[in-house]
């Protein structure tokens, strides 16, 4: 990629952030619309879970493929294809006549979305080569998540209240088209020095693992063991097969050598934990505010602002802290705040009082605002630039997998706890185990942030980067592995 002027780099960052905005906004807007969709499409709790998880599951399954493909055939080309497919999928979602087709069109959206976030992060990584400048750019990238969380509930509530839930998908059309035209004009093409070969077997194993595990979790409360058991068996077979097969490929879909770096491994697990907490938090909060408290979509969106605004405000602060002091402090703040929020709901039933509900939302917003920048920066900063797409895709996959599992697990726990009872009578007690799970997720962020950001962890990252760089040089010049 040619060296760009400062103004051009900022423009590229803005274009990449537009893609993140429509993907992130789509999820936050959808959560506010869930109760309306449930009534209109006669959906069960598991049906609502699938409207979210069908998207995040496909996204998680294809992100690494999209990242490596972009490195191989061109990041700009793949990015533009993703914008096109995502925008078309959004239009189809808005006219879906039933729940089944809505889920299918959400999966189409996800195919496009898989080509956006990891590829955009790879473009940013290759555009901002200075470490501090890149950390600030990633902080701005993280702030977009906060913008989507702040705007999503309000925009979604207003659209659902004044038009219908179908209108929430319309907002992707102008943003998607604008990002497509700007990318065509201003984003330079780039690719890795040496193309990586496709890994179809690895890709199929990833899809089998993620898909079967998610299906088993979501359907467990309403299905017999005989129905769920085959999917559990597929997941238990796919995981060891993936761990056995991938190291034996010269160019695997998942380069397991990345995980020799303690910060990278920590960032992966932290991403799963943090986004599982986010998925579960939004799912529980939306159903509680509208189905238990009886708020309309707009007022439920307003109630989510105390969580969304701190996320928006803290994300750029986190990015600056990562750039000047490293990832440890933001991760410790994030883990502490998210754990405190979970305990407030799990142990003190924060839902039952406006004051504690507000405090719980603020704490979670602070925690989530601080967690995103250190995840992203740690995932890509220690890796060779030639593999930036794959490294960024692993981080993005971890996020989507976490959100998928969060909605699946929390929804299953809630469905099991409520049973045949009404939401009004059983919701708070049925949701308590879910809040304890979110507390454990926050605690994982705190402890892993402490362990994987010290001197020992940095040394493992340096060794891993040197090994990967040496292996990459050998691949480029054609020296056989191990020589």
The model's pLDDT over 136-148, given as tens digits with 9 standing for 90+, comes to 787 677 677 767 7
Q: Which long-range contacts (CB under 8 A, 24 or more apart) does 155-159 make?
A: 155/25, 155/29, 155/301, 156/28, 156/29, 156/30, 156/31, 156/32, 156/33, 156/297, 156/301, 157/32, 157/296, 157/297, 157/298, 157/299, 157/300, 157/301, 157/302, 158/298, 158/301, 159/29, 159/33
pLDDT of residue 107: 93
Determine the distance from the C-alpha atom of residue 472 to the mean position of all C-alpha atoms in its chain, rounded to a whole number: 28
The model's confidence at residue 332, banded by pLDDT at 50, 70 and 90, is very high
Token pair listed for 356: 């504690």
What is the pTM assigned to this prediction?
A: 0.82
What is the spatial distance between Cα 242 and Cα 253, in angstroms, rounded to a whole number? 10
Asked if residue 123 lies in contact with residue 190, where contact means CB atoms within 8 angstroms, the answer is yes
What is the spatial distance between Cα 400 and Cα 272, in angstroms, rounded to a whole number? 8
The average pLDDT across 403-430 equals 78
Q: What is the largest CA-CA distance in the chain?
A: 68
Dihedral angle sign, alpha carbons of residues 80, 83, 85, 87: negative
The model's confidence at residue 218, banded by pLDDT at 50, 70 and 90, is confident
Token pair listed for 308: 């969304």
* 59 vs 472, more confident: 59
Listed in sequence order, the residues at least 6 apart from 49 whose beta carbon sits closer than 8 Å to its beta carbon are 218, 283, 407, 408, 411, 412
Place of tokens 């803290």: 314
Encode pLDDT of 175-190 as tens digits. Answer: 899 999 999 988 888 8
The alpha carbons of the chain give a radius of gyration, in whole angstroms, of: 21
Encode pLDDT of 95-119 as tens digits. Answer: 999 999 999 999 999 999 888 877 8
User: Exposure string (b/e) for 263-301, b if CB count within 10 Å is 16 or more?
Assistant: bbbbbbebbbbbbbbbbbbbbbbbbbbbbbeebebbebb
pLDDT of residue 142: 66
Asked if residue 251 lies in contact with residue 468, where contact means CB atoms within 8 angstroms, the answer is no
**pLDDT exceeds cutoff 80 at 477:** no
pLDDT of residue 460: 84
**pLDDT exceeds cutoff 50 at 337:** yes
Coil, strand or helix at 454: coil
User: What value does the mean pLDDT of the chain take?
Assistant: 84
**pLDDT exceeds cutoff 80 at 472:** no
What is the share, in percent, of the chain residues with pLDDT greater than 70? Answer: 90
What is the share, in percent, of the chain residues with pLDDT greater than 90? Answer: 25
Place of tokens 């063991």: 225
The average pLDDT across 163-170 equals 89
pLDDT of residue 480: 42
**pLDDT exceeds cutoff 90 at 327:** no
The average pLDDT across 283-293 equals 87
What is the spatial distance between Cα 5 and Cα 127, in angstroms, rounded to a whole number? 10
The average pLDDT across 431-452 equals 93
Token pair listed for 123: 């473009």
**pLDDT exceeds cutoff 70 at 199:** yes
Token pair listed for 186: 């201003």
**pLDDT exceeds cutoff 80 at 206:** yes
Encode pLDDT of 251-264 as tens digits. Answer: 787 778 888 888 88
Ranges 12-16, 31-35, 46-50, 194-198, most confident: 12-16
Token pair listed for 63: 């992100």
What is the spatial distance between Cα 477 and Cα 472, in angstroms, rounded to a whole number? 9
The average pLDDT across 356-372 equals 93
**pLDDT exceeds cutoff 60 at 444:** yes
**pLDDT exceeds cutoff 90 at 237:** yes
Encode pLDDT of 268-281 as tens digits. Answer: 999 999 999 998 99
CA distances (Å), 418 to each of 34, 284, 294, 421, 432, in order? 18, 13, 17, 5, 11
* 328 vs 142, more confident: 328
**pLDDT exceeds cutoff 60 at 1:** no
pLDDT of residue 298: 85
pLDDT of residue 420: 52
**Nearest CA among 111, 67, 71 for reference residue 87:** 111
pLDDT of residue 244: 93
What is the spatial distance between Cα 268 and Cα 102, in angstroms, rounded to a whole number? 30
Asked if residue 261 lies in contact with residue 464, where contact means CB atoms within 8 angstroms, the answer is yes
């Amino acid at each position: 990629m040619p060296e760009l002027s400062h103004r051009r780099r900022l423009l590229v960052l803005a274009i990449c952030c537009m893609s993140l905005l429509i993907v992130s906004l789509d999820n936050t807007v959808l959560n506010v619309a869930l109760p309306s969709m449930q009534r209109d499409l006669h959906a069960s709790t598991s049906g609502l879970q699938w409207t979210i998880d069908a998207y995040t599951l496909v996204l998680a399954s294809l992100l690494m493929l999209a990242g490596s493909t972009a490195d191989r055939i061109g990041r700009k080309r793949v990015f533009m294809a993703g914008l096109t497919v995502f925008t078309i999928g959004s239009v189809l979602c808005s006219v879906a006549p039933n729940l089944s087709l809505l889920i299918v069109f959400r999966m189409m959206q996800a195919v496009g979305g898989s080509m956006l976030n990891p590829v955009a992060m790879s473009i940013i990584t290759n555009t901002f080569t200075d470490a501090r400048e890149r950390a600030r750019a990633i902080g701005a990238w993280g702030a977009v998540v906060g913008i989507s969380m702040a705007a999503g509930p309000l925009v979604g509530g207003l659209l659902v209240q004044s038009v219908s839930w179908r209108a929430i998908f319309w907002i992707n059309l102008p943003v998607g088209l604008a990002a497509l035209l700007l990318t065509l004009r201003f984003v330079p093409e780039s690719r890795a020095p040496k193309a990586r070969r496709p890994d179809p077997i690895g890709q199929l194993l990833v899809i089998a693992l993620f898909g079967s595990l998610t299906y088993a979790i979501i359907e467990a409360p309403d299905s017999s063991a005989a129905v769920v058991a085959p999917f559990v068996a597929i997941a238990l077979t796919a995981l060891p097969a993936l761990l056995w097969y991938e190291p034996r490929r010269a160019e695997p879909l998942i380069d397991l050598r990345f995980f020799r770096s303690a910060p990278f491994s920590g960032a992966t697990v932290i991403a799963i934990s943090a986004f599982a907490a986010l998925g579960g938090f939004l799912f529980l909060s939306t159903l509680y505010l509208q189905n238990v408290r009886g708020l309309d979509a707009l007022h439920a969106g307003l109630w989510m602002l105390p969580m969304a605004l701190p996320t928006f405000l803290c994300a750029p602060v986190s990015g600056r802290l990562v750039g000047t002091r490293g990832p440890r402090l933001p991760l410790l703040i994030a883990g502490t705040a998210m754990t405190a929020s979970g305990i407030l709901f799990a142990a003190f039933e924060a839902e039952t009082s406006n004051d504690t509900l507000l405090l719980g939302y603020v704490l979670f917003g602070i925690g989530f605002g601080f967690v995103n920048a250190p995840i992203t920066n740690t995932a890509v900063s220690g890796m060779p630039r030639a593999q930036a797409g794959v490294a960024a895709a692993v981080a993005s996959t971890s996020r989507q997998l976490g959100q998928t599992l969060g909605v699946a697990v929390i929804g299953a726990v809630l469905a099991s706890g409520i049973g045949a009872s009404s939401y009004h009578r059983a919701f708070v007690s049925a949701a308590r185990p879910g809040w304890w799970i979110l507390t454990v997720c926050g605690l994982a962020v705190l402890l892993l942030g402490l362990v994987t950001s010290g001197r020992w962890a940095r040394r493992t990252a340096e060794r891993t980067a040197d090994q990967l760089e040496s292996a990459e040089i050998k691949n480029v010049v054609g020296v056989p592995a191990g020589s």
